[in-house]
Structure 1
Amino acid sequence: RGGPRGRGRGRGRGRGRGKEDQKEWVPVTKLGRLVREGKIDKLESIYLFSLPIKEFEIIDFFLGAALNDE
């Protein structure tokens, strides 16, 4: 039953994950580009206008070293 269709499903996942942290952030959204260019200087400005944050790098940009994993 099923034959070889179900094989190899999980292959290739998780490759090169450690290298991704070293890459420089390339913004995808307009908000990301504004943050990167320095036109938005505070995280509060984003929340003031209720802008959706779709990139985690935006939070990393503002909080940086203050953010720790538990």
Structure 2
Amino acid sequence: RLVKDMKIKSLEEIYLFSLPIKESEIIDFFLGSSLKDEVLKIMPVQKQTRAGQRTRFKAFVAIGDYNGHVGLGVKCSKEVATAIRGAIILAKLSIVPVRRGYWGNKIGK
């Protein structure tokens, strides 16, 4: 609601005040087309039941713009497509800023 009313103008304000991101559309609003997602792994997981095994698929997705924001999402579902879709949404909700720079001084020694 704060984003829609333009009270929050950037993603950095959300991180500055430690506000929770509860909707993936907030990330779409700020980062939009610069976001790239990559499916890292899809693995079948099984649960033993009395009738046999129940197979579900676990999807790991990394998402980020190539400008200091990255997120990881993990989702388990009966179908691969829904697992990937859910993992992308969870990855958007878990996006964090990445501090970049060089802190070492071992060059030339």
**TM-score, normalization by structure 1:** 0.50
The structure where strand makes up a greater share of residues is 2
The structure where helix makes up a greater share of residues is 1
Tell me which of the two structures has the higher relative contact order, counting C-alpha pairs closer than 8 angstroms and 6 or more residues apart: 1
